[in-house]
Amino acid sequence: MARCFVTRELPGGAIERLRAEHEVEVWSERLPPSPDELRARTRAAEGLLCLLTDRVDRELIGAAADLRVISNYAVGSDNVDLDAAAERGIPVGITPDVLTEATADMAFALLLAAARRVVEADAEARRGEWVTWEPARLLGRDVHGRTLGIVGHGRIGRAMAHRARGFDMDVVHSSRSGGVPLETLLESSDFVSIHLPLTPATRGLIGEPELRRMRPWAVLVNTARGAIVDTAALVRALREGWIGAAGVDVMEPEPPPADHPLLAAPNLTIAPHIASATHAARERMADLAVDNLLAGLAGRPLPAAAQSG
């Protein structure tokens, strides 16, 4: 029986499956453990099930002498030092596939909400400003028949394209596997949706030059990782009208401080990283995360292992 530390309560019954085979400690507070607390709780652990908000760095991995497997409750692994784990022979698990449809749903919801100014309209109605029907009030942008540019053409990007075709949208993509150059996509799209992992190559990929290439009415949607977009440039783009609007489920940093300038930017629809937040998706994530942990502790290949590099 191995010692496991789980950094948050998870939906569904996956943790009970883990408890049936191993000794499990679950962090019970709403906020994540501090870096010092995380290191202290992981020091004697053989299995770690962590969240994307937990920084599993070289120092933590080096201090956990008994650690044999890391299972990340996320589709990506940018919060884990994969090189440090590989040097120790520690496999790292992730939870891809199970949140594809939920994330694509959220991306399209943000696209629609930003295009049609849904959040702004809701706020006006609740403030009692709905006093009459006005022909020029709260005009938004058509989605049907417009062009959607998808940056990244993996599982979620393809699911987003499938939804767009239901709106008779023209879909173009830019990715390592093909499509059009990013510059062409930005210049020709009415909506741009980002579906990339965060890597050294994608960090800051969408900055001032890229935002200035976009159409002045275009909508940027990001449900991937906040750091793929230069936040300061996005704030300027919204304030100065380089683009029409943005819908984001991710930011840099997360959570943002209350005075973060992006929170005060105009024409922004924002959600607190909830793209995968459906009952089914989050429970499937928990099941896969526990499956990864159980496999690693048993010396078997992980069902879904992260790849370094």
**Residues 6 or more apart in contact with residue 183 via CB below 8 angstroms:** 210, 213
What's the CA gap between 103 and 98, in Å, rounded? 10
Domain boundaries, position 79 = 3-98+279-297
**Residues 6 or more apart in contact with residue 51 via CB below 8 angstroms:** 7, 8, 32, 72, 73, 74, 79
- Dump pLDDT digits (tens) for 250-294: 999 999 999 999 999 999 999 999 999 999 999 999 999 999 999
What pLDDT is recorded for position 156? Answer: 97
Residue in this structure with the two tokens 């607190």, named with its chain if needed: 272
What pLDDT is recorded for position 309? Answer: 56
Q: Is there a single domain that holds both residue 115 and residue 261?
A: yes
Q: Is there a single domain that holds both residue 184 and residue 45?
A: no
What's the CA gap between 53 and 4, in Å, rounded? 18
Amino acid at 182: L
Q: Is there a single domain that holds both residue 137 and residue 250?
A: yes
Evaluate whether residue 304 is within a structural domain.
no
Q: Is there a single domain that holds both residue 78 and residue 120?
A: no
- Dump pLDDT digits (tens) for 27-77: 999 999 999 999 999 999 999 999 999 999 999 999 999 999 999 999 999
Burial of 169 (0-12, 13-18, 19+ CB in 10 A): buried
CATH number for the domain that contains residue 57: 3.40.50.720
Q: Is there a single domain that holds both residue 29 and residue 85?
A: yes
Q: Is there a single domain that holds both residue 123 and residue 235?
A: yes
Q: Is there a single domain that holds both residue 130 and residue 243?
A: yes
Evaluate whether residue 309 is within a structural domain.
no
Evaluate whether residue 150 is within a structural domain.
yes
**Residues 6 or more apart in contact with residue 131 via CB below 8 angstroms:** none
Q: What is the CA radius of gyration of the chain?
A: 21
Contact by Cβ (8 Å): 11, 283: yes
Evaluate whether residue 302 is within a structural domain.
no
Strand pairing class (245-248; 47-51): unpaired
Evaluate whether residue 74 is within a structural domain.
yes
Active site residue 225: yes
Decide if pLDDT at 108 tops 90.
yes
Q: Is there a single domain that holds both residue 87 and residue 123?
A: no
pTM across the whole model: 0.92
What pLDDT is recorded for position 307? Answer: 83
Q: Is there a single domain that holds both residue 94 and residue 155?
A: no
What pLDDT is recorded for position 177? Answer: 84
Average pLDDT over residues 111-117: 98
Structure-token pair, residue 96: 């891809």
Evaluate whether residue 251 is within a structural domain.
yes
Decide if pLDDT at 91 tops 60.
yes
Contact by Cβ (8 Å): 42, 17: no
Structure-token pair, residue 17: 């499956």
Q: Is there a single domain that holds both residue 195 and residue 230?
A: yes
Number of domains in the chain: 2
Contact by Cβ (8 Å): 4, 279: no
Q: Percent of the chain beyond pLDDT 90?
A: 98
Decide if pLDDT at 183 tops 70.
yes
What's the CA gap between 189 and 218, in Å, rounded? 7
Evaluate whether residue 210 is within a structural domain.
yes
Q: Which of 195, 273, 282, 284 is catalytic?
A: 273
Chain center to CA of 58: 23
Q: Is there a single domain that holds both residue 94 and residue 168?
A: no
- Dump pLDDT digits (tens) for 186-205: 999 999 999 999 999 999 99
Evaluate whether residue 21 is within a structural domain.
yes
Q: How many CB atoms lie within 10 A of CB 248?
A: 23
Q: Is there a single domain that holds both residue 74 and residue 51?
A: yes
- The chain-wide mean pLDDT, for the chain, equals 96
What pLDDT is recorded for position 166? Answer: 97
Q: Which of 153, 173, 225, 282 is catalytic?
A: 225
Decide if pLDDT at 308 tops 90.
no
Decide if pLDDT at 212 tops 90.
yes
Q: How many CB atoms lie within 10 A of CB 125?
A: 11
Contact by Cβ (8 Å): 102, 275: yes
What's the CA gap between 211 and 87, in Å, rounded? 39
Q: Which of 58, 254, 279, 300 is catalytic?
A: 254
